[in-house]
Each structure stands twice: as C-alpha cells, then as structure tokens.
Structure 1
C-alpha cells in the first residue's frame, strides 16, 4: 500500500497536491520530491530557536515532526529554508548558506541506497554522456553579445572540468571545517593561467594534495574572467542585480538532470557529479585491464604469461583520481571489470581473449571515446 505520511497535525496541514506514491527503484517507501512542492518553512523565534510553518500557514505542533526537522541539523545561518512535508521524501530540506549556495539535506535511507547502487546506473550515465557534453559545448560557446560570465556558462565550465580532470565537485562544509576543497569551493589562489593552460593546485579531501593541468581555451576564458571578480571564491558570477553568486554541488547536479531528464533515463534515476569519477575510474580500469591482458603493456609478465594485476590497476586509477586503491575498489571501479580481469588472468586462452574483439567493435554512440564505447558495450553485455 502506498504510504501517506502525515506532515503535520491534520489532513488540512498537507499540501493540496496528492502525496506521491513510492517511486520505482526506491526502497523503504521513499518518494522523489522537488523543492517546488509546497513545504514547511522555518521562522526564527528569539536568538536561537525556530518555529515551523506548514504549507497552509498553520504552525507545526506535531512533536514528532518537529523532532524530525531538528534531526536534519539545518544550520541556523541558512536562509530560504524549505523543509519537505513528507517524512519519506528523498530530499528532506534545502537552504542557502552564508555564500548563497543552495545546500541539500537528503533522507539517510536514500543516501544509503545511492551509495549501495552507485554502479547500477553507469550504463544509463554512459548513454547520457554525449548529450551532457553537447549541451556543455553549447553553453561554453563564445557569445556574440552579452556577458561572458553567466550562471549557465559557469555550470558548463564546472561540468567540463568534472569530465576532464576527474576532480571531486566539492563541499562547502569540508572547505570551512577541514580546509579541503573541490571544484565548486576552489579559491582564486588555487588557479594559475598561462595562455589557455589552466593549472589547479589545492588541498583535497583527506588532505591529499591535488594538482592538474588542462589546456582548454573556453575554460581558460571563463576562469580568467572569474579571477577578475572580487572575493576569494574562484567560481562566481554576477546575477541580474549585480550581486556575486557562487555555485554548489546541488546546482551542478540540478544542471545535469535538467540536461538528461529527457535522455531516456529510467524512472527513479538521478545523475550526480560523482558519476563522472565513477565513469572515468571504471573506464580507465577496463582499458588498463585490456592492455594488460592482451600483452600491450606486459613488459613484466606474470607467471601466467599476463601483465594483469588488479592491485597495479587499482593503484593507477587511484593515482588518477587522487585517492587510495581501497577507495577506488569500493567506490569508483565497477566490480565486474575486476572480475573480468581475474577471469582472463586465470584462463589466458584465445577463447577467453575474444571478449576484447567483441568490445572493440562498438562504434556508437557518438560523443564517447573508443575506451568509453568499450565500457558501454561491456556494461550492456548480460552477466550472470
């Protein structure tokens, strides 16, 4: 039976819209919700306390609901706070932080499902990637008139960087508390430009030093304009009123899903910035496996006559992504790729090697590299 959780004290406290039914692909009765749904608002009461107003204007009295909201731990400094009226909504709250970034609080069950199923929609992401890249290219195109630095062009720049540098998207809380950074939280001091060459150097998650260089005239033009703006934040733009605005990971994710929502995704799928790291980590792992198993880089073959080593492949992918082999194995390399390598290493017969010939014939979709097409073909292949 579809759940009909009560958000307040009575049915009159609910939105006039019907409560969504549990969404396909979600467990525990969770439903996908949008912050455009009429929600609960937060009203300051005194120096530290808050009261909560229901969508119909009444004050929230239900102690269990108030406790649910408090457990979301929405920082007191957040403004324009929207709170989901449904306890089973996948998105529980949004708000603007001190820098004007939209921040999100998700249901813990949804976060768990997302982590557990991080590899399940890689095939859908691969098929959507050409569409994402085409839109990014259009949004990055040099304008004939109007400002160089717009919200859309800045979002396109961030996605281009996600797609080419494999860096993390960033989180303002990490930047504030740990002084570790990602793309959206970079400071001006972290970027150096020489012509069209952009060099990023900063302290990333877990204190790991990150350094990458990119030669991209469109990205360089946007970054150069960003550096001319006042303030420490690198990626900023001026809104229609001339106020400087920054972007967060939620803005990037919304941009991705705006692009891909009509790209044939199955109901319930949502792409995020992290999908780029998973996609590229797995692409590299499959390519390294292919090269090792076909002897292309087997300068020091193992006793089985192959250069394949799962540890060496994970170490190389970890180096490219800037984390550890253990994290790569858990979060960024599809387990089926490692299983394929182990299978071929244990049976290096010509028949076992035929998998590469089959994957090598993939010629579509356009907009993917040859290595990416091989991965998409591999993911599309039925597995026991």
Structure 2
C-alpha cells in the first residue's frame, strides 16, 4: 500500500530468485532451471521461402505445434545467423545467434534474467561498502611520481566516478567512432588550469559536453597529453615504453584494489541509484497513483540525462528497484539520512551523506529480504518433510497391508494344498 492507502504495484524483482554469489550451475538449479552449454546439440533453423523451418538436434524437421510456438516466442531476429535454440524449455539460455556485425547475442530464460538482475542489485550493496576503500587506493596511487600504470589507472577511475562517462570499447571506437574514457583521444579533452573540458561522441551517437575541476586529475591528464600518440590515457613501463590504457586494465585494477569482482560499470549503477534516491527525496508525498508515476518518471528522466541513457534502460539497468519501491511506500530516504550517517560514519567515513543514506537503506532492505526468503525456505522445507513423513507412513501402511494379504494368500494356498494332499484317492 502506498500513501493514503493507495494500492500501487511495486517494481522489485522476485525476491525468491535471489541466489547471491552461488556458482551459476547451482543458481540455475535453485531457480528450477537447467544450466546448459550452447556449444552442445540444439535446434537449428533454415530459411524456407519467407519463413524458417526448424530442425531437432537429430536433424529431423520439427512439426510439433507447441514446440514451434515456444521457438517463435523467443523472437530471434530473422537477420541472425548461426542460430542455436535450446531443446529444453527450462534451459537458462534459450537461444543464441550472431547479429549482422557477427557479435554473439543471447536469449535467456525469464527466470534467469530475474535471477541475474537480483544478484546484480545485491552487488550494488557490496560496491557501496567497498567504495571508501576504492577512493583511498585511488587517492594514494594518484600521488605516485611519474606516469606508472597504477597512477594513470587511478586517474581514469577518478574520472569515471566524477563524470560517469562509460568506460569505452576499442571495437566501438573503431567501428562507430563513438568513445568512452579509455578510448578518448587527446583532441577530446582540453585542460586549462585545474579544469578539464570533455567534448566527444559517445555510445548511440550521444554528444558529451562536460567540465570537471580537479587539480590532481588535470595535472595527470596534461602529462598524458604530452606523450607521443593520439590515445589520451597512456602509462609508462619501467623501461620507458608506452602502453595505452584499456577497459580490461581498469577492471583489473579495480579487482586488485578491492579483491572483488568490481567493474567500471558498477560506478554508473551506484550513481544511478543514489541520484534516483536524491531526486525522489525532493518530491513531496504523492496523493494519487498518477502523481506517484509522474514523480517516478521525472526522477528517472533526470538520472537518464545524467548517465546518457534512455529512460527505459536507466530504470531497468541503473537504478536499484528497492529505491523506487521505497518511494511508492511513502518512505522518503531523506528521513533516514541522520540515522544512516550515525550508523556508517566510522565504517564508511568517505561516503557522502546521501550515499550513506542509500547504502544504509539497501543494507536493511537486503537483510529484511534475506530473512523473509530464509523463513519461506524453512517453511517450504518443513512442508516437504511433513509430506515425506506422511507419504512414508502411508507407504508403510500399504506395505503392511500388502504383506498381510500376501501372508493370508500363502497361508490359504498352503491349507488348500495340505487338504488336497490329505484327501483319499478315488479308485
């Protein structure tokens, strides 16, 4: 229920599908799915006129109506080549294919998508707790002399957090002339004093124009621009050779300083969640479902503009659904800010007040969901045990009755046999 008793549907994914950090195969099985290998035998398709014919792993043409309906519901684009379709409707991967650029694309089972989404949002909490450690390492590495690997990578991470620019991909830069932090060229950044001005074309053709003021970052970027070559971010090896920074380098650095599977994308997910919470905290309590939807839309639009995403992608991929759910419940995060600061001051002192409030809320929500899920699992386990005991008792009674009937039959057969043996022979 929302404010004033309004019934509003929530946007939180199914909590029962959250498996945490279990291995993928175990996670799939826990969700009632089969973990499959798309390299194994599968259903294939061949064009037949304006449509497709589908063939089973043994090469036979598929005619079963229900199976064909499932295959078509996967909506694999007609342009895809090398299409593989899982024969099992419960496979965690339902189909793969290569798009017009030769990139492998996947169609996942809905339960697997929900599972991965839930795990991803648990990862947001982990990232929030690790953020102070990341900032400490970045600050220390940026103080190193010269342009060694860790100093330049720390500078990229610092900019990643300050600008929320995507990390970048060499293939996109080459094929689409679209750039991210690690693929920027010297011409994309102008350094003047302590200010850096970025102008470049990003993913999906979005033009980025933004400025950042940071004395230490500006000094490192200026030094990088003085190196030969057009790549903006390069570092120097011990022998003086130059190496261009890649997204893999940045992700490896994040793993090194955290000891966890943290990636550059986590910064955008964390920022999207915090920005959404801050935006929603500015809105007064709503008095109708329509007002709530308008406020949510306005908040997500603000975050999407900051991240350079569409509203749909931003809501789906970059904002923790529990934040939206909390707003629909009428629980503005600003009311928890003082409590959150007190709770996290010692442990996470380098977090901002809004970040601390969001992390405190997500930790409480995650703990609550975990307790609820564990209680549900215990209830389910007890019910299963009760059924086994009941079924076991029933089977025991059936076995006893069967044994008694068999014993009675054998006793009767023996009596009849003895009577036949005792009867006088007729001459």
TM-score (norm 2): 0.57
Q: Deviation of residue 26 (structure 1)?
A: 2.4
Note the C-alpha offset of 1:306. Answer: 7.6
- How far off its partner does 1:315 sit? 0.6
Q: State how far apart, in whole Å, the 1-side matches of 2:164 and 2:156 are.
A: 11
Runs of 5+ in structure 1 lacking a partner? 1-22, 31-70, 72-104, 262-268, 296-300, 345-351
Task: Assess if the C-alpha contact under 8 Å between 1:292 and 1:306 holds in 2.
Answer: no
What residue number does 1:28 align with? Answer: 25
Q: What's 1:370 paired with?
A: 353
In the alignment, is residue 290 of structure 1 matched against residue 292 of structure 2? no
The match for 2:320 is 334
1:179 aligns with 177
Q: How many residues end up aligned between the 2 structures?
A: 263
Check whether the contact 1:278–1:333 (CA below 8 A) recurs between aligned residues.
yes
Q: What do residues 286-341 of structure 1 show as CA deviations (whole Å, max 9, x unaligned)?
A: 0111111369xxxxx98988896111111100111111111101110111111122
Structural mapping, 1:305-344, within 5 Å: 309-344=295-330
Mapping of residues 150-229 of structure 1, within 5 Å: 150-229=148-227
Quote the Cα distance in structure 2 between the aligned partners of 1:163 and 1:122: 15
Identify the residue that residue 38 of structure 2 maps to in structure 1.
none
Residue 362 (structure 2) aligns with: 379
SS in structure 2 of the partner of residue 333 of structure 1: coil
SS state at 1:211 partner: strand
Shift of 1:359: 3.9
Asked if structure 2 preserves the Cα contact closer than 8 Å seen for 1:154 and 1:235, the reply is: yes
TM-score by length of 1: 0.63
The answer to whether the 8 A contact 2:144-2:151 is kept is no
> Within 2, Cα distance between the matches of 1:274 and 1:302?
35
- Equivalent residue runs for 1:239-318 within 5 Å: 239-261=237-259, 270-293=261-284, 309-318=295-304
Higher helix fraction: Structure 1 or Structure 2? 2
Unaligned runs of 5+ in 2: 1-19, 28-81, 83-103, 370-427
Show the counterpart of 2:40: none
Residues 1:360 and 2:338 aligned together? yes
Tell me by how many angstroms 1:260 deviates. 0.9
